[in-house]
Amino acid sequence: MSSDFYTTQILPYAAIIIKICRAYTDTQEDFEDYYQEVCLQIWRSKDNFKEQSAWSTWIYRLSLNVCLTFLKKKKNNKQNSPSDLLPDEILVDSRAFADESLNQLYGAIRQLSEIDRGVILLYLEEKSYQEIADIIGTNTNNIGVRITRIKERLKKILSN
Amino acid sequence: MEKSIETIWKEGFIKNDALVAPKLNDLYNQKSIDIVEKFKHMYKLNRIGIVAFAIIIIPLSYVTGMIYMGIPMAFLFIAVTFVAQKFSNQLDTIDKNTSSYEYLSSFDKWVKDMIAVNSKLSTFLYPYVFLAMALGFWFIDIDGTILGDRFINGFVSEFPTTSLVNGFPILLLIPFFLVIGILAFFGGKIGKWDINLIYGGILNKLEGLLSDMEELRK
């Protein structure tokens, strides 16, 4: 890694990583772990970037994959931990944004399934259905229906 | 009016400082540990492979009638494993409670020492392998006759005027010792090439990471 790699190749896209990592974590500590893991994986996998997509799209894909894998690993590690027995709704995010609506939205997003979280994040980031399908690895036809369903679920959670 | 989730998303990130990237103080620590652990894993697999060869080569050479090659080769593999194990023990003593830079510098020093010792050993190792192989082929039994004897007899009848040293044609001894000399001369380089072939990727990463950290320390 060149000394500037983080500054030039990761930092300008940090917003993407932050937005995704926050949707998959409940505490600041976890968030920083995930953020670091994503940066580390970007550095490790940078040679696999084939320029078939934009660097930012590749970062979205990699960030989501890392978060999903890391989440699975953490879940496995915590299998016998009592906190794991608590439903997601009870887990309180230790961080708070200045914008209360955004806090509530993130709280609602965290109640979605892992894949749905990825889909809605990409939708909110104004990615096209094609890009979402490419990143998630699914069919474009399903994306529209899925987004509508997720939005309805989010509205329901938020109104509660 | 109730805001849509799209609006909440857009406005939320404009209003606050939620997008401040966390400091990556620990990133180099993770990368250092990652590199060293990867190397350790490969080094361990390498040692297991050598031990497996040492175990397999004796029955294999017995079956193929090359036991005179198998026994010295097995000894060689055991000796190589012994040296590698000693280095591995040293690697485990590197203090992890230091800074990433110091940790990686210690690891780098260990790698250089290991390469230096391996290069020195390779000066003997490759001629030894050649000698063991020559012995193995020499003593192959074909219909009750030793292959080496057959070869010498054939060579002497082809070149009857050749001088003999202890029953060996000098025309064969010269290239034989020449090959041993060449292998001894280039053994160190072959050894380094061999290490680079296996660990080159990790060692390049280590070099890059260290130069990165050195730059940051300036």
pLDDT in tens, B144-188: 888 988 888 888 888 888 888 888 888 889 999 999 999 999 999
Stretch A61-68: mean pLDDT: 89
Run of H or E including B169: strand B168-169
| DSSP assigned state of B98 | S
Residues of chain A neighbouring B8 (CB-CB closer than 8 A): 99, 101-102, 104-105
Instruction: Give whole-number Cα distances, B119 to B83, B93, B131, B190, B203, in Å.
Output: 13, 23, 19, 8, 16
pLDDT in tens, B64-85: 989 999 999 999 999 999 999 9
pLDDT in tens, A97-124: 677 888 889 999 999 998 899 999 999 9
How near does any CA of chain B get to the CA of A51, in Å?
23
ipTM of the complex: 0.80
> Do the chains contact at A36 and B30, CB–CB below 8 Å?
yes
Cross-chain CB nearest to B16 (options A6, A15, A99):
A99
Which residues are CB-contacts of B176 (< 8 A; sequence separation ≥ 6)? B134
